[in-house]
């Protein structure tokens, strides 16, 4: 059992180092894609590598420890990556006098981050096209919206975002 726990911890450490490396080496890759994709990749490849190296693998202990550390990391990473509140506090810490007006904060973080930036992302990912003063959902965007709606329906999510 100890081998599985240790192997899961070591694989998690490899995961964190690999994330730090990949995010710097390939900034064009989306951070969410990297952290989730690498977690899944290591779930399947680490036990195979351990087996090839001749280590006996207690798969259940390995998966329990690796999943525990990885899911804790993913929750923290998601909060740090997407938290408008934390970004706002960080920016306030860098302002002269560590303060900013309500109007400026509202404009930067509600109008900018919550609206304009999201429209730009939708265009960059080709989910929507800007046509004059209107936005039109692309086929790719329609497929994504349909899939998201189906998952929300499955889990009873009536309000999100």
Per the prediction, the chain carries an average pLDDT of 89
Among positive and negative, which fits the CA dihedral 126, 131, 132, 135? negative
pLDDT > 60? residue 141: yes
> What percent of the chain clears pLDDT 70, i.e. is strictly above it?
96
Overall pTM surpassing 0.85 (yes/no): no
CA distance 106 to 2: 51
Tokens of 153: 């329906």
Of the candidates 28, 129, 19, the residue with the CA atom closest to the CA atom of residue 73 = 19
Of the candidates 19, 17, 62, 22, the residue with the CA atom closest to the CA atom of residue 43 = 62
CA distance 137 to 126: 9
pLDDT in tens, 41-56: 999 999 999 999 998 8
Q: In b/e form, how buried is each residue of 107-144, taking b as 16+ CB within 10 angstroms?
A: eeeeeeeeeeeeeeebeeeebbeeeeeeeeebeebeee
Q: Compute CA 101 distance to the chain's CA centroid, rounded to the nearest angstrom.
A: 30
Tokens 């899944």 label which residue?
Answer: 40
pLDDT in tens, 20-39: 999 999 988 889 899 999 99
The separation between the first and the last C-alpha atoms of the chain, rounded to the nearest angstrom, is 42
């Amino acid at each position: 059992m100890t081998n599985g726990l240790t192997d899961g911890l070591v694989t998690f450490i490899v995961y964190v180092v690999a994330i730090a490396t990949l995010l710097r080496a390939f900034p064009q890759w989306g951070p969410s894609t990297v952290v989730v994709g690498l977690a899944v990749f290591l779930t399947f490849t680490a036990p195979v590598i351990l087996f090839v190296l001749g280590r006996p693998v207690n798969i259940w202990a390995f998966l329990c420890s690796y999943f525990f550390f990885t899911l804790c990391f993913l929750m923290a990473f998601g909060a740090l990556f997407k938290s408008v509140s934390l970004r706002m506090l960080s920016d306030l810490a860098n302002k002269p006098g560590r303060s900013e007006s309500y109007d400026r904060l509202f404009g930067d973080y509600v109008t900018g981050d919550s609206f304009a930036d999201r429209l730009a992302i939708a265009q960059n990912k080709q989910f929507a096209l800007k046509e004059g003063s209107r936005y039109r959902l692309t086929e790719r965007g329609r497929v994504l919206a349909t899939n998201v709606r189906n998952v929300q329906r499955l889990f009873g999510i009536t309000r999100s975002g």
